[in-house]
């Protein structure tokens, strides 16, 4: 059976198909050429990168030979510290000291020992009681503060003016600047939320603790009772059974915070 010759319309369609195939082939060839060029360019770029890395390694080796550290130091972002937090540094009588954060102002924080550290009289018997002349004040800023050395530089404990407000008929006592101090009546009411948060503990038992504010009667000192209530009337300053809770303002960076 003889094959029929394609008519004119079919010839035109075949010609168009061949033309499209030729264009497709040409386009594919062009893309292949472009891909090869891109691959060549990438090869050149990688060679440049490796060459730069070798140069960097050589420079770092030279600097390292000079004793200079070239590795980037990790950034130590300061931890956010809030009132009520507990931070730990120093020790006293063989026990690590825990400190409660009372206030934060920028990078300075007011801390108080979370537990009472011991029992001491505020003043000697028969002498006029005053924070400015108190043997307890002197002890805190001479002997006790040495228990923080090696952990925190004294320069990082900030001097703050400590006001001592008296009750009539007694006048206010002179302001003092101390590295370590006792809280006042005003401060103990400002920085603690309630009586429960003010309770001082010594050897596992609630105890009363000194404040630097004078009591209503002469030769007495205000204190915080075992139930956490501030006592304005005060106790005899020579009382040896009242506890001590040191307070201080400190640079948080000095204790790693």
With 0-12 / 13-18 / 19 or more C-beta atoms within 10 angstroms meaning exposed / middle / buried, residue 65 is exposed
- pLDDT tens-digit profile of 221-238? 999 999 999 998 899 999
Residue 63 Cα distances to 91, 166, 170, angstroms: 42, 65, 69
Res. 56 pLDDT band, cuts 50 70 90: low
Task: Tell whether the model's pLDDT for residue 158 goes beyond 70.
Answer: no
106 and 22 part of one domain:
no
Task: Tell whether the model's pLDDT for residue 69 goes beyond 60.
Answer: no
108 and 185 part of one domain:
yes
Q: Which of 40, 73, 106 is the last residue of a domain?
A: 73
Structural domain span for residue 107: 86-255
User: What pLDDT, on a 0 to 100 scale, did the predictor assign at position 223?
Assistant: 97
User: Is 126 domain-assigned?
Assistant: yes
40 and 92 part of one domain:
no
175 and 94 part of one domain:
yes
186 and 100 part of one domain:
yes
Q: Which of 73, 104, 128 is the last residue of a domain?
A: 73
Q: Angle CA(198)–CA(202)–CA(203) in degrees, nearest 5?
A: 145
Tell me how far the alpha carbon of residue 34 is from its chain's centroid: 58
User: Is 59 domain-assigned?
Assistant: yes
pTM for the complete prediction? 0.65
Place of tokens 């070239």: 70
User: Is 31 domain-assigned?
Assistant: yes
User: Is 229 domain-assigned?
Assistant: yes
Q: What 3-state class would DSSP assign to 19? A: helix
With 0-12 / 13-18 / 19 or more C-beta atoms within 10 angstroms meaning exposed / middle / buried, residue 112 is buried
Q: Report the 10 Å Cβ neighbour count for 151.
A: 14
Place of tokens 């990688």: 46
Q: What is the mean pLDDT of the chain?
A: 79
Asked which of 73-82, 150-159, 243-252 is least confident by mean pLDDT, the reply is 150-159
- 221 touches 101 (CB < 8 A): no
Asked which of 38-42, 75-79, 175-179 is least confident by mean pLDDT, the reply is 75-79
User: Is 150 domain-assigned?
Assistant: yes
35 and 107 part of one domain:
no
Q: Cα separation of 118 and 143, whole Å? A: 13
Q: Identify the CA nearest to 110 among candidates 252, 257, 254.
A: 252
Q: Cα separation of 25 and 78, whole Å? A: 65
90 and 20 part of one domain:
no
Q: Cα separation of 250 and 110, whole Å? A: 7
114 and 214 part of one domain:
yes
45 and 146 part of one domain:
no
43 and 105 part of one domain:
no
110 and 68 part of one domain:
no
């Amino acid at each position: 059976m003889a094959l029929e010759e394609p008519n004119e319309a079919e010839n035109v369609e075949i010609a168009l198909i061949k033309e499209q195939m030729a264009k497709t082939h040409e386009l594919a060839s062009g893309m292949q050429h472009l891909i090869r060029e891109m691959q060549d360019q990438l090869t050149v770029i990688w060679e440049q990168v490796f060459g730069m890395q070798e140069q960097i390694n050589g420079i770092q080796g030279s600097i390292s030979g000079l004793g200079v550290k070239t590795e980037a130091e990790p950034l130590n972002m300061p931890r956010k510290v809030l009132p009520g937090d507990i931070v730990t540094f120093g020790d006293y009588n063989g026990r690590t000291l825990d400190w409660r954060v009372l206030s934060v102002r920028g990078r300075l924080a007011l801390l108080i020992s979370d537990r009472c550290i011991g029992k001491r009289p505020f003043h000697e018997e028969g002498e006029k009681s005053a924070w400015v002349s108190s043997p307890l004040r002197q002890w805190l800023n001479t002997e006790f503060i040495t228990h923080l050395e090696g952990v925190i530089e004294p320069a990082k404990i900030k001097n703050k003016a400590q006001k001592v407000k008296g009750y009539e008929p007694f006048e206010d006592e002179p302001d003092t600047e101390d590295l370590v101090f006792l809280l006042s009546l005003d401060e103990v009411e400002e920085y603690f939320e309630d009586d429960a948060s003010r309770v001082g503990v010594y050897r596992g038992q609630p105890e009363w603790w000194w404040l630097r504010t004078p009591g209503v009667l002469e030769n007495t000192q205000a204190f915080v009772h075992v139930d956490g209530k501030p006592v304005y009337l005060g106790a005899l300053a020579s009382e040896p059974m009242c506890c001590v809770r040191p307070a201080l303002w400190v640079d948080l960076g000095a204790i790693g915070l």
